[in-house]
A and B are shown apart, each in its own frame.
Chain A
Amino acid sequence: MPAVQETVEQVRAIDVDQYKYGFSTDIEMELAPKGLSEDIVRYISARKNEPAWMLEWRLDAYRRWLTMREPDWARVDYPQIDFQDMYYYAAPKSNAAPKSLDEIDPAILETYKKLGIPLREQEILAGVAPENRIAVDAVFDSVSVVTTFKEELKKSGVIFSSISEALHEHPELVRKYIGSVVPTTDNYYATLNAAVFSDGSFVYIPPGVRCPMELSTYFRINEQKTGQFERTLIIADKGSYVSYLEGCTAPMRDENQLHAAVVELIAHDDAEIKYSTVQNWYPGDSQGKGGIYNFVTKRGDCRGARSKISWTQVETGSAITWKYPSCILRGDDSQGEFYSIAVSNGAQQVDSGTKMIHLGKNTRSRIISKGISAGRSQNTYRGLVSAHRRATNAKNFTNCDSLLIGNACGAHTVPYIESKTASAVFEHEATTSKVSEDQMFYCMQRGLTQEEAIALIVNGFVKDVLQQLPMEFMVEAQKLIAISLEGSVG
């Protein structure tokens, strides 16, 4: 049987065992009553002791959401979601405001350790050079259980905490910025998130400060029948810099679970935000049973002149991905970047891309997207590049490459371009290629197994984007991509 043919057969047999993060933690949880109503919104707000304005904001969003319809323009297909058949709040019972790591349920610490995310600072410090330290905000179902290195960050004036905590400690900052990039009215899932978001991370970098370490949030869905709705808000004040990384995993379950997050980034004059995601939610089994619905709204606002926002994503998980990290290039001379690797295997469906909205003069954007489809998966790049009348000399470069493994998968590219100024220069390149039998045979003749050959060829394909990731995560991401495609060969 020719190699690629066999690949196809084996992809069909991809089995869930390959998902290395599929365990669940048995821990006593406090759950909100099932379903969604104004009462549930009030419940969540009350659990977090939120100020009255926050509750009003949520209720506004909720009422609007009731009038909205689920978007259907993406190239994804799934049964109607029953929004009354899930829990909107799940928190470990033991997690009643822990003051220190010692108060956190050991089962949770163990969970993160198993995921390769040590939370004890001593453990992190052992054997890690100071410049390679990473501060972590750990979000477990609906709540942030701990944020590490907070004190050390405080010394430079950096605020890094859960958004719930920020609501109490820095309400003026949260109130000023929340919803200022993704308004509560933005889209169906973002509006839902505004009503029921339960936690997420908050970052503020003061003027002129270069954040002394990598910041990260690790999202873990554990509880059954629970949606995760987190909200992240990052503000880089004038002339500051921060690099932030987000990771996510979930147990293997037959049911589909909803993850509808919102991320807002704000970069003031001369500030730079680098946001990286390694998304590895449970993708479901080979038949498409189970897996996370990842419906996420991420947007960055280059509010200041010469500001820069750069999104890098490695998407390997989720049954369905619906996600378009975007940049609003408002400040003159601001820059937006989007680097993406989207791997789909089994029955996964990916509809992802970006929007670069050029509003200011001399704004520049760059889009590099690498889609890899295997199995029976469908992988769509959807992008919009637009230039406003004022955006003279706007420049965009887009490069979308798709790589197919086998004959049963699909790759699609849907780029939109809108320019209202004659001086804009938008370039677009796209290619679609296949891992050929010739390439496989050549590699194998030199001694590589089928799996090694696929991993080598794919890593070559995504190299340009991998290089955008922070060093520590490059190797990790490389491995993850290889693991995600493991089922596509023997």
Chain B
Amino acid sequence: MSLLEIKNLTAKLAEEDKQILNGLNLTVEKGQVAAIMGPNGSGKSTLSYVLAGREDYEVTNGEALLDGENILELSPDERAAKGLFLAFQYPIEIPGVGQMTFLKAALNAQRRKNGLDDMPTPEFMKLVNGRAKELGISQDMLRRSVNVGFSGGEKKRNEILQMALLQPKLAILDETDSGLDIDALKIVADGVNAMRSPDRGFVVITHYQRLLDYIKPDVVHVLSAGRIIKTGGPELALELEAKGYADIVGKAA
């Protein structure tokens, strides 16, 4: 069974009659890293939001199966507990809520939904401190409020910290590379690579080949106007880098 199977998905803005996803088909296998590239405004973030259950969008057709189960009727927190993780293109600030409080609340909320007890605090502390160190996240950042006053790159690293802690089945990384300096890009890529495993999958949304030099994708999809219009191997990303989207988009249209 595929890890993620999206069939003929159409979605529109909930408040307006604007269709953004137009019969999108996509399959991600277990153990796979799938890259999604595509022009600005083509619907990449929308796809990730619809999968995660954001209510600004209304699914008008199709289904999305995670491990064979249609998740589109579930609330965002239920999808999260089933192992879906989204690293946001623009992570959100939550003033006054300490990082540790947030991480612990999230981890334990998921554990409870999966019938596990809360993680004991010492174990939790050890876990966070270990992961934070690997990702070059300082103790100071752990003491601050969630994403408040973080630089763009720090916010992205923080998303990866959360992913490393929550150990999802399927992680969608929405332009996690944008805003990262060269060293941070390597650190984040190492973090992702360390989590690659035969039963976990990644959807990596990016505009640049550079990230894919570090996180080697198994497959590259091109999303345009709300559909996957082309699928290929890692060489497809190199081709796009050289020629841009005009060619493919033109052919598909």
- Number of B residues whose C-beta is below 8 Å from A? 33
A446 touches B75 (CB 8 A): no
A457 touches B94 (CB 8 A): yes
Separation in Å of the B165 CB from the closest CB of chain A? 10
Task: Report B-chain residues with C-beta under 8 Å of the C-beta of A457.
Answer: 94, 96-97
Instruction: Report the bound CA distance from A448 to B80 in whole Å.
Output: 9
Q: Does B110 contact A (CB under 8 A)?
A: yes
* Cα–Cα distance between A443 and B147 once the two chains are bound (Å): 12
B38–chain A nearest beta-carbon distance, Å = 22
Judge if B19 is at the interface, Cβ distance under 8 Å: no
Tally of chain A residues near chain B (CB < 8 A): 28
Q: Do B77 and A444 touch across chains, with their CB atoms under 8 A apart? A: yes
Contacts of B166 in A (CB 8 A): 446-447
Q: What does the 1/0 interface line of A447-461 toward B look like (CB < 8 Å)?
A: 111101000110111
Interface membership of chain B positions 49-66, coded 1 if the CB is closer than 8 angstroms to chain A and 0 otherwise: 000111110000000000
Would you give the shortest CB distance from B124 to chain A, in whole angstroms? Answer: 14
Across the interface, A438 reaches (CB within 8 A) one of B76, B92, B145, namely: B92
Which of B88, B97, B98, B145 has the most C-beta atoms of chain A within 10 angstroms of its own C-beta? B97
CB–CB B145/A460 < 8 A: yes
A67 at the interface (CB under 8 A from B): no
- CB of B94 within 8 A of CB of A446, answer no
- Binary interface encoding of chain A residues 107-129 relative to chain B, with 1 for a CB under 8 A from any of its CBs, else 0: 00000000000000000000000
Q: What number of A-B contacts does a CB cutoff of 8 Å give? A: 89
Q: Are B80 and A447 in contact (CB under 8 A)?
A: yes
A447–B113 touching, CB < 8 Å: yes
Which of B100-108, B133-141, B213-221 is the interface stretch? B100-108
B162 at the interface (CB under 8 A from A): yes
Distance between Cα atoms of A2 and B77 in the complex (Å) = 15
Taking a contact as CB atoms closer than 8 A, the residue among A456, A462, A463, A464 that contacts B105 in the complex is: A456
Q: How far is the CB of A291 from chain B (nearest CB, A)?
A: 29
A457 to B52 CA separation, bound complex (whole angstroms): 20
A445:B97 contact, CB within 8 angstroms: no
CA distance A432 to B13 in the complex (A): 28
**Closest Cβ of chain A: how far from B128's Cβ, in Å?**
14
Interface readout for A1-42 with B: 1 if CB under 8 Å, 0 if not?
111001000000000000000000000000000000000000
Judged by a CB distance under 8 angstroms, whether A442 is at the interface is yes
Question: Within 8 Å CB of A433, what residues of B?
Answer: 95
Docked-complex contact B162 and A446, CB < 8 angstroms: yes
Please measure, in the bound complex, the distance between the C-alpha atom of A6 and the C-alpha atom of B101, giving whole angstroms: 26
User: B109 near A: Cβ within 8 Å?
Assistant: yes
Q: How far is the CB of A282 from chain B (nearest CB, A)?
A: 29
Q: What residues on B are CB-neighbors of A443 within 8 Å?
A: 94, 102, 106
Secondary structure of the B contact surface, majority rule? mixed
Check if B189 is an interface residue, CB within 8 A of chain A.
Answer: no
* C-alpha spacing A461/B148, complex, angstroms: 13
> Once the chains bind, are A441 and B54 in contact (CB under 8 Å)?
yes
Contact, CB under 8 Å: B92 / A442: yes
Given contacts A460-B94, A463-B96, contact A447 B109 (CB under 8 A): yes
- Assembled-state Cα–Cα distance A441/B110 (Å): 15
**A413-443 near B? 1/0 per residue, CB < 8 Å:** 0000000000000000000010011110111
B97 contacts across to A, CB distance below 8 A: 456-457, 459-460
Pairwise interchain contact B95-A460, C-beta atoms closer than 8 A: yes
Chain A residues near B119 (CB, 8 Å)? none
Assess the A442–B94 pair: CB atoms within 8 A. yes
Of A6, A443, A445, A463, chain B has the most CB atoms within 10 Å of the CB of: A445
Q: Once bound together, how far apart are the Cα atoms of A438 and B85, in whole Å?
A: 16
B106-163 interface with A by 8 A CB criterion: 106-107, 109-110, 113, 145, 162
Question: B80 to chain A: which residues have CB within 8 Å?
Answer: 444-447
Query: Beyond A445-B86, A447-B113, is A2–B55 a contact (Cβ under 8 Å)?
Result: yes
Q: Can you add 20 more A-B contacts, CB < 8 Å, to A2-B15, A445-B88, A456-B101?
A: A1-B14, A1-B55, A2-B14, A2-B55, A438-B92, A442-B92, A442-B94, A444-B53, A445-B86, A446-B162, A447-B80, A447-B106, A447-B113, A448-B105, A449-B77, A449-B109, A452-B105, A456-B102, A457-B94, A460-B97
4 nearest A-B pairs in the assembled complex, by CB-CB distance? A460-B96, A460-B97, A446-B106, A447-B110
- The chain B residues found within 8 Å of chain A, CB to CB, are 14-15, 52-56, 75-77, 80-81, 85-86, 88, 91-92, 94-98, 101-102, 105-107, 109-110, 113, 145, 162, 166
Pull 8 A–B residue pairs with CB atoms less than 8 Å apart, ordered by A: A442-B91, A442-B92, A445-B76, A445-B80, A446-B110, A457-B94, A457-B97, A460-B98
